[in-house]
Each structure stands twice: as structure tokens, then as C-alpha cells.
Amino acid sequence: MNRPISPLLDRLYAIPFAIAAFFIIFIYSKHGGIGISPDSIVYVSAARNLLENGRLLGYNQMPIVDFPSFYPIFLAAVKFITHVDPVVAGPYLNGFLFAAVVYLSSMIINKFVNHSLGYKCIVLMCIVVAPSLQEVYSMLWSESLFILLSLLLILALHRYFKTYTLTSLVLASLIVAVACVTRYAGIAFAVAGGAMLLFDRNLRPQKKAQHILVFSFISLSLLVINLYRNLHAGGFLTGNREKGITPLQDNMSYFGSVVGNWLPFFPDQYTISLIVGWIVLLAIFAICVYYWIKGNQWYVSFENIASAFALVYASFIILSSTISHYERINDRLLSPLYIPLLFSFTSRIPALIQMEKTKGLRIATIAFCLTISAGFFYRQYQNNLEFYEDISTYGIPGFTDDTWVHSQTVNFIRQHKSSLKPTYCIYSNAPESIYFNCGLVGENLPNSTFPEDVSDFYKENYYYIVWFNNKEETPLSLQEIKLHKKLKEVTRFTDGEIYVVEE
């Protein structure tokens, strides 16, 4: 197992994998286009409004505060440059971003202390076929850019630790700053970078203090500006969020369930997932401590930088899910963790193989690694095949799939929207679909966990309610609304109902 013979070949080996990543997303998007979720609607509408009227407003013409600002700005920039709407450009844009992620991963592997051609090919294939990454890049989500920024940060931090120049520090800080306004979870980047500076034994105390201050100031600058804008535009720093309702132990189990699903041999069972979650978290911590003990050459290595990011990001997601209530820990939330974890747990394999003194042991070790890899790829093949069969028939799940595009309720609104009274507000449990598929502005039904919003809703007397039966999570049940308001049925279909309130 030898290194490639030249730096040029080191780069060329990544190109087929990057091309494969691009075409996978392109093929997935062939049936109905890029996947569009409620979050995607917010990003797209904000990008459109930014170009049309210079303001970051969502589909309901309200300022965006639940999401940071940079991803909509990024989509607006793409539309401004290409004159193509983000929804239409989505397959090409995300295909390019996924290919860039694969290529940057290859650049990082090339700088590992130990690596080989076989190792590199297997790891790049693991990235290309990963269902969690394929899901992210088949949807118009901010994670698609966020993952790319995480790899750029690893490269930038390594450059800084090799030179300790102010220029390299500023570059790393700017990447963190952009990440923080791409996803609020970007704060984990700032914590990881700051922690690595703090524990670096090669920096003199005075210079260390100065560089930590510079890194912190630049890294958090855009986030502070974004939060200030949110507070004054929408009244909340990061939106009107609910307090956490999931215990730490459950979140650890959910974390272990997702990571275990990335591996070939772990069943999705609560106790096993809980054990897997703790083992993975403690193992990453042990790896970071090991590299710190080994000395500065290992501490500033790509392997350790990736491990430090994995540790901080995993801890952030688990703790924030416990403190604040949002979607359950899933593949999407942990997708930025996939590549750093892959690097952390596999980077020492080539060295271990080379250390084997006898040919028999080397062959046995290689055979064991190949067996694990085969199990992993078979698991991913099954997941990807199931996903492809669904999307090739119905489209990528979301508002571009056949369920929504051919919805009877949606088609009725689209055909009769001119007859709807313009002074009446449209409330719905899926207002994003009304905007995306019908071109109308709708309001989300109030969430029952916010009694004041529900009370204000019941005080209104003239509006429409569009109820979709295929929406799994509903903010306020239709039965509860009927107890407080007299709903006059406009029409009813198998997939939805439309009512008008006139009191």
C-alpha cells in the first residue's frame, strides 16, 4: 500500500468520484427537480424577495429570523449571476457543491500523516454513496453549503497551525463567520477553532491570547450582526423557539441511532443506540486527547482538526436538542458530522497495516478492513436503492414530488385563485405549498404551544383555511379549530379540505 507517485495523480484520483457525486444528484433530480421542503421555501422566497425589493422576507412577507441570512443571500447571488431561479438551478448547484465536497475531502486525505491509494478510494466512495449526504444534496438546504465550509475550515486551520500568520488566522476566522450565518450550528466551528488555539502548546501565551481575541472577534462578527438584525426586524434573536422536551438520554440514543445507521452491523434499538452514542462521543474525545499527548506535529494534523470539529459539533447538536425543541436528531442535522467522523475513525488504518511485521498479519488486517467496508457498502446500496426507486417514481420527497404537484387541493386553488377574496388571509397547515405550487401568500396556522398566538387567531373573523391531510405534523388540529370557529366548507378532496370563516 504505497502513496501515489506524484501530487498530480493525488488530485486526479478524486476527479471520477467528484463527477459521480455530481451526476448522482442530477439523476435524483430528474423526475421532479431538486427536493423542496418547508425550509427550502423560506430560503427560496427570501432569495427572490432580496433581489426584487432588497429585503430578506419569507414567503409570508415576514422578516426571516428562524434561519440565518447567508444561505438565502447565496441563492440570490446565484440567481443574480446566472439569471436562473434557485429551484431550477438546484440540481446543478447542489451537484457542484457535492462534487466540491468530494474533491476537498480528497485534498485533506492527501495531507494525512499516513494514507494510501486504496484507503483514499474507499473513503471517497464512502462519501459519495453516503445516504445522509445524498439526502442533503438532493434538497435545497443550507447544509449543502455548510458541509463545504466545514472542509474549507479544516484546510484553513491546518494552514494556520503550520504558519501561525495573522493572514491565515483571518482566513480561518472569516470561514467560521460565514458558517455562523449559514447555520446557527456554525457556532460549533468557533468553539472548535477557539479550543484548538487554547490547547496549542506551540503558541506563546501572549500571542495565543491575541490570536484567540482576533479569531473570536472575526468569527462571531457576522453572527452578532445577524442576531441584531433579527431582534430589530422580527423581535427574536433566532425566532420564537420552544423549550426542549427531549431528555439528554433520549437525544444520546437518537444520536447513536443515526450514527449506528451509518454503520453496517448495528440494529436500531433504543439501548443499543444509547450505548453506540456514548461510545462514539467518548471515542472522539479519546482521539483528541491522544493527538494532544503525542505532541504538536499530531495536534495540528488534519486528523486531529477533523476529530476536534467532530467532538464539538456532536456535543453541540446533542445539548442544543436538549435545551431547545426542534426536529429530532436525524441524518440531516448530523450530516456535517459524517466526513469528520469518517476521517477520525479511519485515518490510522493505513499506518496500522504498515506496522504489521509479517505479511500474513498485513493480509489478515486488510481482509478484515475490506470485509467491514463491504458490509458498509452493501448497507448503503440497500438504502440508496430504496431511495432511488421511490424518487424515480414519485420525485424527491417535498413540494416537487407527485404527491404535492398533482394534489387535488393544490390544483383547485391554482385554478380558482382569482375567485378567492383578496382581503381574506389564507391560513394553512402547509402554507409553503400554497406559495410554491399556487403562487399565493399563506399564513401558518398558530402553534398550540403558544396560547397567545392561538387566541389572536380565534379573534379574526374573515379568512380561509386550507387543510392538507398528507401533512404529518400540524400546528393546530382542525377539530380544535371547529370547536371555536364556524367553518363553512368550500370544497373537499381526498387529500385536503378548504373552509372559509365569515363571522
69-89, pLDDT tens digit by residue? 999 999 999 999 999 999 999
Q: Are residues 254 and 349 in the same domain?
A: yes
Q: Is residue 269 part of a domain?
A: yes
Q: Give pLDDT, residue 375.
A: 82
Q: Are residues 351 and 412 in the same domain?
A: no
Q: Are residues 351 and 289 in the same domain?
A: yes
- Give 36-72 pLDDT, tens digit per residue: 999 999 999 999 999 999 999 998 888 998 899 999 9
**Domain termination site, one of 337, 355, 373:** 355
Q: Is residue 420 part of a domain?
A: yes
Please answer whether residues 193 and 218 qualify as being in contact, where contact means their C-beta atoms are separated by less than 8 angstroms.
no
Q: Are residues 350 and 425 in the same domain?
A: no
Q: Are residues 418 and 333 in the same domain?
A: no
**Domain termination site, one of 355, 383, 414:** 355
pLDDT at 129 over 90: yes
pLDDT at 184 over 80: yes
CB atoms within 10 A of CB 264: 17
Q: Is residue 207 part of a domain?
A: no
d(CA 345, CA 101): 19
Q: Is residue 249 part of a domain?
A: yes
Strands (E), 70-175: none
Residue 358 — pLDDT band, cuts 50, 70, 90? confident
Q: Are residues 282 and 349 in the same domain?
A: yes
- Give 426-449 pLDDT, tens digit per residue: 999 889 999 999 989 888 888 877
Q: Are residues 313 and 410 in the same domain?
A: no
Q: Give pLDDT, residue 2.
A: 44
Q: Give pLDDT, residue 411.
A: 93
Q: Is residue 220 part of a domain?
A: no
Q: Is residue 271 part of a domain?
A: yes
Total domains in the chain come to 2
Q: Are residues 255 and 350 in the same domain?
A: yes
Q: Give pLDDT, residue 61.
A: 86
pLDDT at 344 over 90: yes
Q: Are residues 349 and 410 in the same domain?
A: no
Adjacent-strand bridge partners of 463: 425, 501
Residue 478 — pLDDT band, cuts 50, 70, 90? confident
Q: Are residues 412 and 331 in the same domain?
A: no
Please answer whether residues 91 and 33 qualify as being in contact, where contact means their C-beta atoms are separated by less than 8 angstroms.
yes
pLDDT at 111 over 60: yes
Q: Is residue 303 part of a domain?
A: yes
Q: Which among 226-235, 237-246, 271-280 has the top mean pLDDT?
A: 271-280
Q: Is residue 87 part of a domain?
A: no
- Listed in sequence order, the residues at least 6 apart from 25 whose beta carbon sits closer than 8 Å to its beta carbon are 91, 94, 95, 98, 134, 137, 138
What phi and psi values does residue 46 have, to the nearest 5 degrees?
A: -65, -40
Residue 377 — pLDDT band, cuts 50, 70, 90? confident
pTM of the shown model: 0.92
Domain that holds residue 265: 241-355
pLDDT at 3 over 60: no
- Listed in sequence order, the residues at least 6 apart from 303 whose beta carbon sits closer than 8 Å to its beta carbon are 112, 113, 291, 343, 344, 347, 348
